[in-house]
Structure 1
Amino acid sequence: MSFSVRWIRLTLVALAVVFALSAYGIRAVLDGPIEQYSGAALSGAIVYAIVLFIRPSITPWIAGVIAVAYCWFIEFSQLTAIPATISAHSWFAGQLVGARFDLVDVAWYPIGIVLYMAVHWYLRTRSTRTADAR
């Protein structure tokens, strides 16, 4: 694994931690729609960071589709009793799979993901131009 791939992965882990801390910070300070919307958007961004961590060379479009599909899979699985049962036994598991379905979250996951996709696309384009200039 090259130094640049390690650096990218370390950066992605740091960003995922920042997103998670931001979501919990917003939740601690605010209540209501902003808390809910930002939590879903930041959760989507965390999933996008995880996708990039697993496959750093993936294109923004494919990473975005995978992240949205995963978020929606988890959200729609909450229409069953399985996530609620899992969440009742473990706080951490509850953070990963949730407990109840919310249609608003379905709309907000892509917003966080699209913002991250734009940054990813910009950085890839910039690094390609830098490499071409050499």
Structure 2
Amino acid sequence: MRARLLPLAAAFGVLLAGLGARAALDGDPAKYSGVALYTVLVYCLVLVIAPGTRPWITAAIALGFSWAVEFFQLTPVPARLAGNALARLVLGSTFNPPDLLWYAAGAAVAFGAHLLARRTRPVLGTGRVHEDRQ
């Protein structure tokens, strides 16, 4: 259960950071930080569903999902659903090629954080740090 709680807590934090960035920032910084954090959120949710997934696989799934959503915006469906706030947050509304790069940046940051967390996770009850060499 602990293996799912950590990424779930991280997902909640990422969601708050993304919504906060959209509220606190203007223009491109708001848009592109939200885009990158979208992929980080997907990364965390993959780990909630499948906690033992390797970091590179998790990154590939999160990036692939994010890109699929972006390319889905080339269809008229997301624009039709844009009146619904939740649908707009999940699907967006219009295709924007630079978003593809920012999704990759989000996947890279999540991948790096996941690797770092795996290398320095504490061994419960011992006060020692487990060095994971995978």
Shift of 1:34: 0.8
Give the structure 2 partner of residue 100 of structure 1.
94
Aligned-residue RMSD, C-alpha: 1.9
2:9 is paired with a residue of what secondary structure? Answer: helix
Matched, 1:11 2:3: no
CA distance in 2 between counterparts of 1:131 and 1:27 reads: 37
Tell me, yes or no, if the aligned pair for 2:72 and 2:78 is still in contact at 8 Å. Answer: yes
Instruction: Identify the structure with bigger relative contact order (alpha carbons < 8 Å, sequence gap 6+).
Output: 1
CA distance in 2 between counterparts of 1:18 and 1:46 reads: 9
CA distance in 2 between counterparts of 1:95 and 1:115 reads: 21
What is the TM-score when the length of structure 2 is the normalising length?
0.85
| Stretches of structure 2 lacking an aligned partner (at least 5 in a row) | 124-128
Shift of 1:45: 0.2
Give the structure 2 partner of residue 45 of structure 1.
40
The number of residue pairs the alignment matches comes to: 126
More helix by share: 1
Pick closer, same or farther for the CA change 1:27–1:131 going to 2, 3 Å: closer
Whichever residue aligns with residue 116 of structure 1, its letter is: A
Give deviations 1:91-132, integer Å, cap 9, x for gaps.
112211111111111110111111111111122233597278
What is the TM-score when the length of structure 1 is the normalising length?
0.85
CA distance in 1 between counterparts of 2:32 and 2:92 reads: 15
Shift of 1:17: 1.4
1:53-132 pair list within 5 angstroms: 53-88=48-83, 90-127=84-121, 130=130
CA distance in 2 between counterparts of 1:107 and 1:19 reads: 19
